[in-house]
Amino acid sequence: MNPSEPTASMETGDAKTPIAPASTVTPPDQAPIRLDKSPAGDSVLEKLRTLVEDKTRFEPHQITALAEEELLQDFALQANYVLEARLESRLINGHFLPVAGDDCCAAHQVQPRARDEAKERLRRAAGKLETALQQSGHRYNAIEPGLYLGHAVRHWHLDQCTDCHGKGRVNCNTCYGSTEETCWKCSGVRTVVCDGYGCFGTGKVSCTYCSGTGSVSEQVTDYVQESVPTTIYENGSSRTVYHTETRPHYRTVSRSCHHCSYGKVNCLTCHGLGNINCGTCRASGVVTCRTCNGVGDLHCNPCDGSGKTGNAAWLDVHVAPAYSVNLPKQAPDDARRIRDKEGVHALAQLAGSLSLAKVSVYDPDHPQEVDALYAGKLRIVRLDAVCNQEKHHVVAYGNDLRWLTLDDIIEKLLRGDLKTLTDALAGSADDGLFSSHVESLLVPLRDVAASELNADVIESVLSGENDHAHVDVVSPDYANSVRTGVLGALRQVYTRLAKQFWWKAALGALVATVAVWFFFGARFGALAGLLATGAGYLLFNQQVKTVLSSALGGKAQAERAMQIASKGRRNRLAQILVLAPATLAVLASAYMLPLRVRPLPNTAPALPSASVAPHAAPPVVDASAAKAIKLYENGDQPAALAMLESLVKEGDARAYGLYGWMQLMGRGLGPQGNVTEQQRQARQVAAKPWISKALARGDSYALTAKGVMLAEGWQEPRNMPRALDFLKQSAQKGNTEAMHVLGLYHVRGYQTPVNNKEARKWFTMAADKGSAADIYNLGLMDWEGAGLKRPDRTSAMQRWKIAASMGEERAIKAVKQGQP
């Protein structure tokens, strides 16, 4: 901390708490404000009648006054302010800037000198507080707890920093001033474990010729002589003669691989050593210190680079106010109940006048407490009234006439309607399980709902509020009773109307299902039936709203009643009665109806058309994405494409990826030699939606297609780094096409530097999965010496023979002519 920044008001400043406007408090030199009735002539009787008129369905003239008494109750509000002198001490450094009046002293005198000011600081704070309280227009609670009087003098001392000896900088704790540290990667050894693919520090990798098995297979041709019979026909008879022919006999033999030792060869990265030079320190064993960045020393923290440290101390005076209200001994019980109910601050707001009586400072020599006594007056009005031939005693208080007690005068008016509703609910229980009449419940429900106070109470109870609405008007027992009665009536109304409506909703949903099924099939029929079920429920709600609007006298009242029923979850049974039968009818009909409707015979005459060669209808096959992928991998691309087309039409998302890839590359679409640029672009446009849909599922063929589109700039801006990322994701999923494309891009240097090592890696992974084209590519790299120290044509020929046996045409040609 820098104590040079002010933390509180200075010696000449005033108290921190602002002073309230004069209109909220009575100055001590003025007479208290007298409490009279409002200019409009408002009284407790008028307020009570307004409550009945606004919040109930009863007439206000049902309440008549017998007597009304008004008095001004005196009370005393005491504000006690406890003052405390707190010692504040801070560590400082050479950046500390003293101001005029600050005291520089010895280190052992800093805090004692600050403590010696306690008596004077408290005396001055008490004087400022007393002056503030006696100001005209000062609020009784204007002084807030916290800092009241800030420091006047700061006592401080500075010495030379012992950590840096006054220099402001210290030696680096990592390199100790040498500016270098041991390499964190190689720990100073200067070599690290080889990270070559397949090596991992062993110095050996799997042989690419034998795939690490140590043996290779080759085809051997043996020529054997066989006796071949020949039938000769002469003069109507036949005879058989035998002659010897030499025929080739092929067999596969296994021999040891002469390119490796037990399937392993030296790693080309570390040349069999297992370690390579550390790239972090460039094989030097040391790097620039990361703590000080090669400077050798660091900024000194204790002194913040200033070279000096010390401490400073001062005294701040804090205030803690406390408030209490006292009533005279002869005060009535009503006044004491009001005090206990409202509390100090609420009572001060309700008071008609509040004036400062006196201010007392205790212990003038060492003041720590200041008391302010305020005199106030509270308006209390008592009313004796008659309602329904019963006498009631009502008490209100304050300028706004808050209710202290209503003596159940409103609750007794409302309980008559509630009892009628409760009796109607009890009678409805005897109507039977299948009863659907609601008229007997609507009249008592209308009477209860006509009193807006009931709706307010129910909504507050359902919201989980601690105190229900109009807590001063009706009791918690009545609030729970009206909630139970109204929610029970609404549940009966919903349920009985649902008993009238459920078969209509089920019939409408069933008709919609069958009608749509007849033209579009069962799947669309079921969808139409479910939509009709939802529409039926909306119609049911509209019917409930119509019935309640007629009964309660308006749409607004009906909507509020429906909201209360929904919040109280009293419409759940009705929802089940309306939705369940209709939904079951839709599902049952969709299950029992056939998938398709047999089309009607076409009786229209055939139109003349161009001659088309007749063809048989394709046989029905059990199409699945897995079978289509198997056909594609086995080389039967046309059959795979035909199967995929049927799958995508049925919405099988598993077929989207391979279908998009085949469309993009033209696989299975016939000869590719005469494809125009327009046709190629059309294929790309057609393939893109399927690829995008399959990408969301992480399909490996979609990832491969996306990578090729980004690399080639097909329907996408060219972006080679993203393309390689997509292709590697697909290759990691085992996609041979992605491995093949990655190998081609790296060996050709297409939009990326030539990397024979990376190309050989991807070609090898594809060859291990049985790709004849990539076995041929590996042989071609061996022939040209790509990624090797020298060409290895023997290995190349062996690879081509393996690829030729798998049907690779280029390999067959290379084996036949002895070169690619």
In angstroms, the CA 105 to CA 255 distance is 97
Write out the two tokens for 682.
């059309």
Q: How far is CA 780 from CA 73, 225, 774, 808, in A?
A: 111, 38, 9, 13
For residue 595, the model assigns a pLDDT of 52
pLDDT of residue 17 exceeding 80: no
Q: Is 110 helix (H, G, I), strand (E, B) or coil?
A: helix
Share of the chain above pLDDT 90, in %: 18
Q: Does a structural domain hold residue 725?
A: no
For residue 2, the model assigns a pLDDT of 43
- Rounded to 10 degrees, the C-alpha dihedral 187/188/190/194 comes to -10
In angstroms, the CA 545 to CA 557 distance is 10
Q: Going by C-beta distance under 8 Å and a sequence separation of 6 or more, which residues neighbour residue 289?
A: 172, 174, 175, 178, 179, 180, 181, 296
* Rounded average pLDDT over 98-116: 91
pLDDT in tens, 450-504: 888 888 888 887 787 777 888 888 888 888 888 888 888 888 888 888 888 888 8
For residue 634, the model assigns a pLDDT of 80
* Rounded average pLDDT over 505-528: 85
Residue that is last in its domain, among 695, 716, 746: 695
Residues 630 and 526 in one domain: no
Choose the weakest-confidence range: 482-486, 559-563, 595-599, 763-767.
Answer: 595-599
pLDDT of residue 795 exceeding 80: yes
CA atoms within 13 A on the CB side of 442: 19
Choose the weakest-confidence range: 103-117, 133-147, 253-267, 603-617.
Answer: 603-617
Q: Specify the number of domains making up the chain.
A: 3
In angstroms, the CA 111 to CA 190 distance is 58
Give the H or E element holding residue 53: helix 44-55
In angstroms, the CA 309 to CA 162 distance is 8
**8 A C-beta contact, residue 188 and residue 286:** yes
pLDDT of residue 212 exceeding 50: yes
pLDDT of residue 157 exceeding 90: yes
- Pairwise pLDDT comparison (158 vs 241), residue with the higher score: 158
Backbone angles phi, psi at 90, to 5 degrees: -135, 145
Task: Kindly write down the DSSP assignment for every residue of 437-467, as one continuous string.
Answer: --HHHHHHHHHHHTSHHHHHHHHHHHTT-SS
Residues 84 and 122 in one domain: yes
For residue 657, the model assigns a pLDDT of 86
CA atoms within 13 A on the CB side of 451: 26
pLDDT tier, 41 (very low <50, low <70, confident <90, very high otherwise):
very low
For residue 637, the model assigns a pLDDT of 82
Residues 90 and 139 in one domain: yes
pLDDT of residue 16 exceeding 60: no
In angstroms, the CA 389 to CA 405 distance is 19
Q: Going by C-beta distance under 8 Å and a sequence separation of 6 or more, which residues neighbour residue 699?
A: 654, 656, 657, 658
Residue that is last in its domain, among 592, 611, 639: 592
Q: How far is CA 64 from CA 43, 59, 169, 381, 426, in A?
A: 13, 11, 91, 16, 35
Q: Which residue has the tokens 């598993």?
A: 654
Choose the weakest-confidence range: 224-238, 262-276, 597-611, 623-637.
Answer: 597-611
Q: Does a structural domain hold residue 801?
A: no
Q: Does a structural domain hold residue 546?
A: yes
Selection from 104, 114, 103, 97 nearest residue 314 by Cα:
114
In angstroms, the CA 141 to CA 351 distance is 14
List the domain range (segments joined by +) for residue 654: 620-695
Choose the weakest-confidence range: 286-300, 659-673, 792-806.
Answer: 659-673
For residue 600, the model assigns a pLDDT of 34
**8 A C-beta contact, residue 504 and residue 476:** no
Selection from 425, 413, 401, 565 nearest residue 478 by Cα:
413
Cα torsion angle, 779, 783, 789, 794, sign: positive
Q: Which residue has the tokens 């291990």?
A: 768
Q: Does a structural domain hold residue 359?
A: yes
Residues 378 and 435 in one domain: no
Choose the weakest-confidence range: 33-42, 264-273, 298-307, 512-521.
Answer: 33-42
Residues 386 and 522 in one domain: no
Share of the chain above pLDDT 70, in %: 88
For residue 88, the model assigns a pLDDT of 93
pLDDT tier, 328 (very low <50, low <70, confident <90, very high otherwise):
very high
**8 A C-beta contact, residue 317 and residue 149:** yes
Residues 368 and 438 in one domain: no
Selection from 333, 339, 324, 404 nearest residue 378 by Cα:
339
pLDDT of residue 152 exceeding 90: no
Residues 374 and 520 in one domain: no
Q: For residue 170, which amino acid is it?
A: V
Residues 551 and 632 in one domain: no
Residue that is last in its domain, among 662, 695, 728: 695
**Residue 284 CB: number of other CB atoms within 10 A?**
14
pLDDT of residue 814 exceeding 80: yes
pLDDT of residue 15 exceeding 60: no
Residues 495 and 533 in one domain: yes
Residues 377 and 481 in one domain: no
Give the H or E element holding residue 83: strand 63-93
* CA terminus-to-terminus distance, the chain: 80
**8 A C-beta contact, residue 320 and residue 101:** no
In angstroms, the CA 625 to CA 645 distance is 10
Mean pLDDT for all residues in the chain: 82
pLDDT of residue 547 exceeding 80: yes
pLDDT of residue 612 exceeding 80: no
pLDDT tier, 233 (very low <50, low <70, confident <90, very high otherwise):
low
- Give the 3-state DSSP-derived string for 325-340, with helices as H, strands as E and coil as C: EECCCCCCHHHHHHHH
For residue 310, the model assigns a pLDDT of 94
pLDDT in tens, 43-92: 888 888 888 888 888 888 888 888 888 888 899 999 999 999 999 999 99
For residue 616, the model assigns a pLDDT of 34
CA atoms within 13 A on the CB side of 389: 0
For residue 749, the model assigns a pLDDT of 85
Task: Kindly write down the DSSP assignment for every residue of 349-407, as one continuous string.
Answer: HH-SEEEEEEEEES-TTS--EEEEEEEEEEEEEEEEEEETTEEEEEEEETTTTEEEE-T
Q: Does a structural domain hold residue 751?
A: no
pLDDT tier, 1 (very low <50, low <70, confident <90, very high otherwise):
very low
Write out the two tokens for 279.
């790239």
Selection from 552, 569, 562, 555 nearest residue 452 by Cα:
552
For residue 535, the model assigns a pLDDT of 92
Q: Does a structural domain hold residue 670?
A: yes
In angstroms, the CA 766 to CA 763 distance is 5
For residue 234, the model assigns a pLDDT of 66
Q: Does a structural domain hold residue 748?
A: no
pLDDT tier, 434 (very low <50, low <70, confident <90, very high otherwise):
low
- Rounded to 10 degrees, the C-alpha dihedral 354/356/358/359 comes to 120
Give the H or E element holding residue 584: helix 572-592
**8 A C-beta contact, residue 372 and residue 133:** yes
Residues 444 and 588 in one domain: yes
Task: Kindly write down the DSSP assignment for every residue of 761-800, as one continuous string.
Answer: HHHHHHHHTT-HHHHHHHHHHHHHTTTSSS--HHHHHHHH
763-779 burial: b if 16+ Cβ within 10 Å, else e: bbbbbbeebbbbbbbbb
Residues 503 and 578 in one domain: yes
Predicted model pTM? 0.49
For residue 155, the model assigns a pLDDT of 94
pLDDT tier, 313 (very low <50, low <70, confident <90, very high otherwise):
very high
pLDDT of residue 361 exceeding 60: yes
pLDDT in tens, 377-425: 999 999 998 988 888 899 999 888 888 888 888 888 888 888 888 888 8
Q: Does a structural domain hold residue 65?
A: yes
Q: Taking the mean position of all CA atoms in its chain, how far away is CA 46?
A: 55
pLDDT in tens, 722-745: 999 999 999 998 999 999 999 999
Q: Going by C-beta distance under 8 Å and a sequence separation of 6 or more, which residues neighbour residue 598?
A: none
**8 A C-beta contact, residue 729 and residue 686:** no
pLDDT of residue 220 exceeding 90: no
pLDDT in tens, 239-258: 667 777 777 777 888 888 88
Considering only the C-alpha atoms of the chain, give the largest distance between any 2 of them, rounded to a whole number of Å: 161
**8 A C-beta contact, residue 799 and residue 776:** yes
For residue 341, the model assigns a pLDDT of 87
